[in-house]
Structure 1
């Protein structure tokens, strides 16, 4: 093998090995260090307010304490109000579903008595009589399909209740982690410059500038993406809640909040909920609600199409297909949490690419130089 090619292969293997070691180290250390990372993120978010309070001649410890109280107390207050309202409306929504059970049964029975359906049933019975050999095969396939659907529904319900049980059982652990995060954030904030200076000293001088550039671009991309998505789903949720209130729909807050979260799904978005709902309204003869939902769905689509390019343009533009692939890959690798982690990792990779990391690695493999 040519000597130059051999060197390139060895440098490529070294880059791959370093990447594997970095991923493994992250996988091993992240469960141990994530409270510290959360504390650093909280301290980073609080830092502007801490500086503002220090400018008012407040002692450092008091400025940090007030900032912690403002952020944590405000977040706890908002979450408590949201969860309380959401639980109340979910209870009302569940009661509404129970009230409509008889109506749905009657709708299904009337649909089954339809002349066209009865004609199809008669044709199936005639087919059974004319082809008795297929009877057992069809019954077997129907039985297997029913068992599969029943198993899927059972798994879905069981999984839902398992998630609730895990959340309840995790409350003591969450409380402990919260205390650790708050204390670590306090200590980090009181000596913010000293801790950051120590981290800077650990890095070799040639890496300071590239790391700083990567961090600045990554911060803009990641926080920009999260901010943009939060703005878009908030706008969707507000429009849906307002529209449902006007239409007189019960539990408008809970439904609007859930539809806003569903809006994170690319391409599908609110349509995965709104379209079946408005079709059902038309089928049940509730034309007023069906027309109202249709108009509301159109308003959401137009608003989303107008605002999304402008909101995302100020952060990081991601191709919808790439986002869909990222969400699917995240779902396969990390479960439901992957629906969020997938696009976030995609944004991070995009930020590394924009910062020239992959270009630098390519130069190193080809020529042995970082520039």
Structure 2
């Protein structure tokens, strides 16, 4: 309800604003708590249910086509068994591809091990040459700068060796625990997918009969919508950065153009590192070596990857999920501050859930007031 102010302007009652503020605040707290504490607990089951939804059309087709009549009774293959076989085939194929990639990587590492001593010798000779030039320009004793640089390098090597073993001892157990946990999550997700396929109709019936069916449908639709937008945007960005990186490597005459370009693209997908973790030091070394063309190419590649990711992430995430580029950027930033790496997708998802749930509950509150 509105009332007229002394200036004649129409204004809302303070009670309505307070109610909306409380609804927004409460919804924000519930969404944050759900994403922060509840989502990690139900994530394996959600992954399994999502996988079951993806496989359900093919499972139903196979189950319908392959029926057996025994003693006048028709038998069908259990949906869970068909789903387990399909998951095994899919991940078996992915495992073969990963294994081939590991073999290729091992071959490249062997070649790198052969060439690394030559690169070290070349770097040593270049460093000696630069030190001699600086000594002559500064009027210093011949060899003093090179000896100092060699001592610093040796000291850094010794420090690295001393800190390597404690680092490995400290992080080996957490790493082992992480892989054990990851294996457990994969196993639970697999079982959840099989059981979800087997009980799909019953699960849907329970959801439709639930008191919170509207909220469940809303959350499920938003999860699917945001997930599709995230995978689409990341796929396009990955292909673009991979093409740009491979093209730059070919332009530089790098013999590992495909491997190096793919590695740079995959590294660019990690927000904690990014392509700059490799491209910027590489460009700096090229500057020291007088390879100005390569340094410019690497710098241009970094800028292209950076701005392409910033623009395309906001564009595709915003167009797919209904957020403006500014809202998407703000949601991604806040999400990464709150949730870390996964905040890139949880931030926009959380903002959408807050908006939708606030609208639903505000309508419910108004409807209850009217009745």
Residue pairs, 1:1-371, within 5 angstroms: 16=25, 20=29, 23-24=32-33, 27-57=36-66, 59-61=77-79, 62-90=81-109, 92-93=111-112, 96-115=115-134, 119=138, 166-168=174-176, 170-204=178-212, 207-208=213-214, 211-241=216-246, 243-244=248-249, 247-264=252-269, 270=275, 273-278=278-283, 280-281=285-286, 283-286=288-291, 315-316=320-321, 319=325, 323=329, 326=332, 330=336, 333=338, 338-339=340-341, 341-352=342-353, 356-360=356-360
Q: Which has the higher contact order (CA 8 A, sep 6+)?
A: 1
TM-superposed deviation, 1:357: 2.9
Please list the CA deviations of residues 305-342 of structure 1 after superposition, one character each: whole Å capped at 9, or x if unmatched: 99878865763466379648835862x555xxx23x12
- Which residue is equivalent to 2:145? none
TM-superposed deviation, 1:202: 2.5
- Distance of 1:301 and 1:196 partners within structure 2: 43
- Distance of 2:162 and 2:53 partners within structure 1: 44
- Distance of 1:362 and 1:14 partners within structure 2: 7
| Matched-pair contact (CA < 8 Å) for 2:32–2:350 | no
TM-superposed deviation, 1:239: 4.3
Rate the CA distance shift 1:260–1:284 in 2: closer, same or farther, 3 A. same
Local SS of the residue matching 1:315: helix
Local SS of the residue matching 1:100: helix
- Distance of 2:292 and 2:35 partners within structure 1: 55
- Distance of 2:230 and 2:83 partners within structure 1: 28
Rate the CA distance shift 1:49–1:160 in 2: closer, same or farther, 3 A. farther
Please list the CA deviations of residues 20-39 of structure 1 after superposition, one character each: whole Å capped at 9, or x if unmatched: 46655665555544332232
- Distance of 2:117 and 2:350 partners within structure 1: 47
TM-superposed deviation, 1:348: 0.3
| Matched-pair contact (CA < 8 Å) for 1:8–1:366 | no
TM-superposed deviation, 1:189: 0.9
| Matched-pair contact (CA < 8 Å) for 2:52–2:193 | yes
TM-superposed deviation, 1:260: 0.7
| Matched-pair contact (CA < 8 Å) for 1:39–1:185 | yes
Structure 2 portions without partners, runs of 5+: 1-12, 68-76, 142-154
- Distance of 1:190 and 1:156 partners within structure 2: 50
TM-score (normalised: structure 1): 0.65
Rate the CA distance shift 1:352–1:303 in 2: closer, same or farther, 3 A. closer
